[in-house]
């Protein structure tokens, strides 16, 4: 799983590529923890290149979101496609998180 992050204005744009499962999810959690340490609590995750997500992946998203929120930040998502979008829908995550089609939509708000 590849994680590429880029400061875009006030937001940290994080692109995740590959599969997020029990093996790779901790990397995502750690990345978010790093952002937290750096004070970048406004994180937007781009899942356009994410092929697969398991419940372990969902857990780490949830855990990271909780930590960021407790420090006044937020975890938002964009670029959901395919199976990942399906999982988000079924699991009800879309009800818990802000999900937009692409990053530009966020910039607007």
Partner 1 sequence: MRRGISFRLTVLVLACSSLIFCIILGYNYIISRGIIVRMAEEKGDYLASNTGQRLAEVFSSVSTVVDDMAQSLENGALTEERVRRMGGQVLRNHPEIFGTAIGFEAYRFDPYRKYFAPYHYRMNGGVVSTILGGDGYQYFYMDWYQLPRELGESIWTEPYFDEGGGGALITTYSAPFYREENGQRRLVGVVTADISLGWLQDLVSGIDVCDTGYGFLLSRYGAYISHPDSDLIMNETIFSRAEELGLPDLRELGRRMRKGDKGFVELAGFQGLESVFVYYLPLPMQHWSFGLVFPKAELFADVSRLSSVMSGMGIAGIGVLAGLILLLSRTITRPLRLLTTAAREIASGNLDLQLPEVSSRDEVGELAGSFQTMRTSLKSYIADLTETTAAKERIESELSIAREIQMGILPKLFPAFPERSEFDIFASIEPAREVGGDLYDFFFVDDNHFCFLVGDVSGKGVPAALFMAVTKTLLKVVAETGLEPGEVLAKVNDDLAEENDSCMFVTLFLAVLDVRNGEVRYANAGHNPPLYVQAAGAVEWVPSACEPMAGAMEGMTYSTGTMHFSPGDRLFIYTDGVTEAMNRDSDLYTEERLLEDIAAHPQASAAEIIREVDAGIKTFTAGAEQSDDITMLAMTYLGTTSAK
Q: Which is nearer to partner 1, 30 or 89 (CB)?
A: 89
Residues 50-79 that bind partner 1 (CB under 8 A): 55-56, 58-59, 62-63, 66
To which residue do tokens 């199976």 refer?
A: 83
Given a contact cutoff of 8 angstroms between Cβ atoms, the answer to whether 17 and 49 are in contact is yes
Residue 64 beta carbon to partner 1: minimum distance, rounded to whole angstroms: 9
* Region class of 82: left (phi > 0), else alpha (psi between -120 and 50), else beta: left
Residue 27 beta carbon to partner 1: minimum distance, rounded to whole angstroms: 16
Sequence-ordered alpha helix ranges (H) in 39-102: 55-70, 82-90, 93-96
Q: Which is nearer to partner 1, 10 or 95 (CB)?
A: 95
Cα–Cα distance for residue pair 38/52, rounded to 1 Å: 28
Cα–Cα distance for residue pair 11/8, rounded to 1 Å: 5
Q: Which is nearer to partner 1, 77 or 93 (CB)?
A: 93
Residue 88 beta carbon to partner 1: minimum distance, rounded to whole angstroms: 9
Residue 45 beta carbon to partner 1: minimum distance, rounded to whole angstroms: 16
Which residues contribute to the site for partner 1 (CB under 8 A)?
22, 55-56, 58-59, 62-63, 66, 89-96
């Amino acid at each position: 799983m590849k994680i590429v992050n880029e400061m875009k204005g006030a937001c940290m744009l994080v692109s995740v590529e590959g599969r997020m499962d029990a093996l790779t999810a901790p990397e995502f959690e750690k990345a978010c923890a790093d952002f937290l340490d750096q004070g970048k609590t406004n994180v937007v995750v781009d899942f356009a290149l994410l092929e697969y997500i398991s419940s372990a992946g969902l857990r780490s998203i949830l855990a990271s979101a909780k930590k960021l929120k407790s420090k006044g930040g937020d975890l938002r998502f964009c670029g959901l496609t395919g199976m990942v979008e399906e999982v988000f829908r079924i699991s009800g995550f879309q009800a818990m998180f802000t999900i937009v089609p692409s990053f530009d939509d966020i910039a607007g708000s």
